[in-house]
Every structure is written in C-alpha cells, then in structure tokens.
Amino acid sequence: MKKSKKERQKELIETIKDQPFITDETLAKSFHVSIQTIRLDRMELNIPELRERIKSVATSNWNETVKALPIDEVIGEIIDLELDKRAISILDIKEEHVFSRNKIARGHHLFAQANSLAVAVINDELALTTNATIKFTRQVNVGERVIAKAYLKKVLKKNRAIVEVTSTVENEPVFKGEFEMFRSNQEKEGNKNENSN
C-alpha cells in the first residue's frame, strides 16, 4: 500500500536521522518511489544531500589527525575520529571492488577498510596489525555503501591493544573483526611510570 506524502516524509526524516549516510537510491527503493521524488522530499524538508550530510558529520566530529599512516592510505573515507577511542569510515563499493561475473565485493576490500581503520584509531606513529580474527556475515554488492566503525576495546601489556571493527550496509552487519595492534609508545609510557616510582 502506497504511503501518503505526509507519512512518507515523516518516515524519511526518521530514516535519515537513524542512517545519515543512506543514499537517495536506497531511500527510493525503500519507499517505492522515484529518486526524483526523494530529492523533492528532501528539498521540501530542508534535508541536505548525502555529500553535505557526510561533510557536516566529518566537520563536527573529526578534530584529530591520523598518526599511524597517511590519510590517503586509509581505505574508505574517514568521517569521524577520536584517537584511542573510535573511528568511522565509509566505502562505496564500485566496479573496481567487485568480481566482474557476479558484482559481489571482493573480501579483501572489506578487510582493508576495517584493518586500515583499526590502524588509524591508534594514537601512535607506529601501529601494526599483529593478529586478526574476522568474520564476513553477508555478501556486499556493487553500489552498496559500507560503514565501518572501530573502537579501542582494550589496552594490553607488551605494547598491544585490541580494536574491534564492525562494518554494516544499511545497518545490516556484513563484516566483524577483532584486531590485535602493536603500538610503540606504550612501552615508553610504561617506562615513565616505572621511573616515577
């Protein structure tokens, strides 16, 4: 049953609030209307287009700099970063990321997005992955947007930290990984503490 314009716009506001990185194409499919209708709805509701929403989130949330690797080596676009706490990146799956015969994303791209985000969240100039436990929970197709969220789960002894990364497409989990990271500065911090005793 087709929703009225008023109902659709109300649900549109709620959907974009819950999923700020959702595309107009996905919204159009979800509401069974044309992309043009979604764009007109957004204009009437003063909801900015996706690129502007991403920029707005990035501007308000990201005030730190990746230390462990150059920003252009991070796979995906980082839109939120708080060193030693959390980070978020977005990866749009394009033709170059998929198998040509079935248009399914190659797993190493999802792993690379998650792994580089795990490195990026570490507040250290030297951060390396020493071990990873990963799980792919569903295939990702061309045209889909993968949102990876990393958070520093725990700091271990011997210069190690555990970073957990969860990747989703439209709030549906597609990848989960736990990365054990080497970081060089914990030893120095440990030595400082020992010397101060």
Per residue in 105-143, pLDDT tens? Answer: 999 999 999 999 999 898 888 889 999 999 999 999 999
pTM for the full predicted model = 0.70
Indicate whether 117 and 42 sit together in one domain.
no
Indicate whether 51 and 139 sit together in one domain.
no
* pLDDT tops 80 at residue 87: yes
> Which residues, at least 6 apart from 182, have a Cβ–Cβ distance to it below 8 Å?
126, 127, 128, 129, 130, 159, 160
Per residue in 27-62, pLDDT (tens digit) is 888 899 998 999 999 988 888 887 777 666 555 555
Count of structural domains, the chain = 2
Nearest of 123, 113, 125, 21 to residue 73 by alpha carbon: 113
Phi, psi for residue 140 in degrees, rounded to 5: -115, 135
In a domain, 195, yes or no: no
In a domain, 196, yes or no: no
